[in-house]
Amino acid sequence: MSLYSFGLEPLSCHAWNKDKTQLAVSPNNNVVSIYQKNGKEWDKTQELTEHSGRITGKATTALFKRNLKTHLFKRDGVWKPTLVLVRINRAATCVKWSPLENKFALGSAARLISVCYFEKENDWWLSKHIKKAIRSTVLSLDWHPNNILLAAGSSDLDCRVFSAYIKDIEDKPGPTAWGAKMPFGELLLEQKDCGGWVHSVSFSPSGDQLALVTHSSSLVVVDAAHGKEATPLTTDRLPLMSVLYVSPTEIVAAGHDCVPYQFSYQGPGQLSFVKKLDIPKQASKGSMSAMQHFRNLDKRATDDDMNDLNALHQNSITQLRVYSGERARIEKYSSVSLDGAMVVWEFKVTVIKGCLVHRTAVK
């Protein structure tokens, strides 16, 4: 089991470097802590304190203020900030690098999306705005595998897919199931009234399906390969806050229930709950250690374990991230929670009598 505790503060977001030897987490404030893997432990190597507002997303770092800093890793092993003028007058709320990492998108409370890219000639970051049809704060973003299309969920209860094609830095894209004409800012999907704030969105490995979770405890899959038909599934659980496609048909989502759940989409009208993905904690039969005694006093003002959830995470899961594997077959994914812990989960695929069976375990 790979469960790591980073203190008593809640973790709002996290991000990995390419080889997964470094981890960036934010304890729900204006600080980003950088950890370096050392065997089975994580050692803090640096704190990024340049932000003045609460950090709300991390790919660069999105923050609860009006400008953005993207941190570049220098040869001396230190992350150093570069300012990006995103030209917004409200808080930045979410951020996402494109698959080719030549641009990133920033959602904000200014009812727009800033698509930022680096201009080599002048050695600076520029941004272009997508404003069409957005009527409220942008809460979530995800890139299509083609590096062009961008999905956005917002607090106006709608989910949209835009073209984020920037002709200055990339070739003209070919047609997709979402549409053929893709000038910058083109609206290719507007899924209206999803039932609640759209907390998270995720494209499938092929890019033909889009999964989204809302504050109404619903999961919705929009299938561009079948006329952009939407298949909703309302659960009897607490709202889901993060969603992730882990294979062409399997989806993992997590939120206020403190555990990840697996769902399966087999086509229009065929979206179903599969199972809960967690290993219940084993009740301790021995006496409580002194460390556990004082940890309970500090966190809950009590010295007993009676209020522990029967789960690895002890509070709402705020974010899921890919840890390893190809997009079409994710092998491991990570989660962070308001309990200050991170868990790395292993998603296994086995074949039994010609049928694919998906199993998840804690790694």
Q: Which has more confidence, 258 or 31?
A: 258
Is residue 354 very low, low, confident or very high in pLDDT (cuts 50, 70, 90)?
very low
Q: Whole-number mean pLDDT of the chain?
A: 85
What is the rounded average pLDDT of the residues 177-202? 96
Tokens of 120: 């080599």
35: three-class secondary structure by DSSP: strand
- Written as one letter, the residue type at 108 is S
pLDDT digits (tens, 9 = 90+) for 108-144: 999 999 999 988 887 788 899 999 899 999 999 999 9
User: CA-CA distance, 322 to 252, in Å (whole number)?
Assistant: 11
SS3 240: strand
Give pLDDT tens digits for 267-280. Answer: 999 999 999 998 76
Q: Confidence band (pLDDT; 50, 70, 90) for 87? A: confident
Each residue's pLDDT tens digit, 282-338: 544 344 456 555 655 555 555 555 567 888 999 999 999 999 998 888 999 999 999
Confidence band, pLDDT 50/70/90 cuts, at residue 56: low
Note the pLDDT of residue 73.
Answer: 59
β-partners of residue 177 are: none
Is the pLDDT confidence value at 171 over 60? yes
- Calpha distance 226→230 (Å, rounded): 9
User: Cα-flanking dihedrals φ and ψ of residue 139, to 5°?
Assistant: -105, -25
Of the two residues 358 and 34, the one the predictor is more confident about is 34
The pLDDT, as a whole number, for residue 65 is: 40
Task: State the pLDDT at residue 60.
Answer: 46
Provide the pLDDT for residue 123.
Answer: 75
The Cα–Cα gap between 38 and 18 comes to 16
| pLDDT confidence of residue 57 | 58
Lowest mean pLDDT among 14-23, 92-101, 166-175, 350-359: 350-359
> Which residues 6+ apart lie within 8 Å of 78 measured at CB?
46
Question: DSSP assignment of 183-221, as one string?
Answer: -TT-EEEEE---SS-EEEEEE-TTSSEEEEEETTSEEEE
Q: At 70, is the secondary structure helix, strand, or coil?
A: strand
